[in-house]
Amino acid sequence: MVKHDLNLALQRMRARNIPLTPQRRALLAFLYAQESYTTVKDICEAMAGEYPHLNAMTVSSTLHVFKQLGLVNESTVSGASLRYEAAICS
């Protein structure tokens, strides 16, 4: 099983001077706790209790930033939603 390194991902964000809002930190923590790919819909549903105003557009744009920083991998399954997983392993 691959162990994803959340601390290294957070360090990369700080090194690039990307603001680490509570929502971004929670989203990264969620992604890095998963053992497989997840969708925007799954993320929104999982985080709705703690962040009820979090929406799919916000999650998608945050995932785009994470992808540009190399913090997440994006995968397309034919005919399905984009899927995301943590990219930094220890």
> Within 13 Å, how many C-alpha atoms sit on residue 51's CB side?
18
Tokens standing for residue 53: 């105003």
- Give the integer Cα–Cα distance in Å for 55 and 49: 12
Dist. CA 59–CA 40, nearest whole Å: 7
Phi, psi of 64 (to 5 degrees): -60, -45
Check residue 90 and give its pLDDT: 63
* pLDDT tens-digit readout, 9-68: 999 999 999 999 999 999 999 999 998 899 999 999 999 999 999 999 999 999 999 999
pLDDT the model gives residue 11: 92
Which residues have a Cβ under 8 Å from the Cβ of 27 and sit 6 or more positions away?
43, 47, 59, 62, 63, 66
The stretches of the chain forming alpha helices (DSSP H) are 6-15, 22-33, 40-47, 56-68
Question: pLDDT band for position 77 (50/70/90)?
Answer: confident
Q: Domains in the chain and their CATH numbers? A: 6-86 (1.10.10.10)
